[in-house]
Amino acid sequence: MRPAQPLLAAAAAVLAAAFALPAPAQEGAADPLERDRTQPVTNDTYVRLCTGCHIAYPPNFQTADAWQAILDRLPEHFGAEVPVPAERDGQDLAQYLRDFAGRPGLGVLTGVEPDAVPLRITELPFFAKAHAEVPDRALQRAGGAWRCEACHPRAQEGSFERARAGGQK
């Protein structure tokens, strides 16, 4: 049976090459097969701009087009005045969000049609489903549905595990 081992090894190598993950589009870009997983935010401009009111949501929580629409409306961001970043920082932020954006129908964007992505994270189907049993008064105590860290202490790290009563996990 020893002669079959080289044949099996060769077949395994061919299969491994056939199913190898594609290289990211650019250095630092999300692997297409990994981009639908929630990851911690790694862009300093994004963290600086957003965390005054809410966490910097993981980029896969929106599509690239939705992120662009949000960036285009920064001066009037859902009733808050958000300063527009310097040109270079703004370009880097836009590229980061494009590279790591989610895709409709996958991950947290399951159930979202490509041409009907709500800009508010709290209006996404996954959010509504995940919070269906959370009483309104609990969301009010948290400071609003967008204040993830009130109930999910590791939200900024990309972990949205269900929190116990009192917000501790």
- Structural domain boundaries enclosing 153: 30-157
Report if residue 14 sits inside a domain: no
Helix axes 64-72, 87-100, angle to 10 degrees: 150
The residues pairing with 80 across neighbouring beta strands, listed in sequence order, are 77
Calculate the average pLDDT of the chain.
Answer: 77
* C-alpha to C-alpha distances, 116 to 72, 123, 133, 165, nearest whole angstrom: 17, 11, 25, 34
Domain count of the fold of the chain: 1
For the segment 150-167, what is each residue's pLDDT rounded down to a tens digit? 888 888 888 888 665 544
Span 1-32, pLDDT tens digits: 455 444 334 433 332 332 222 333 344 444 44
**For residue 3, is it within any domain?**
no
12 found inside a domain: no
Token pair of 155 as six digits:
């939200």
Domain annotation covers residue 16: no
Read off the pLDDT of each residue in 67-86 and give the average, rounded to a whole number: 90
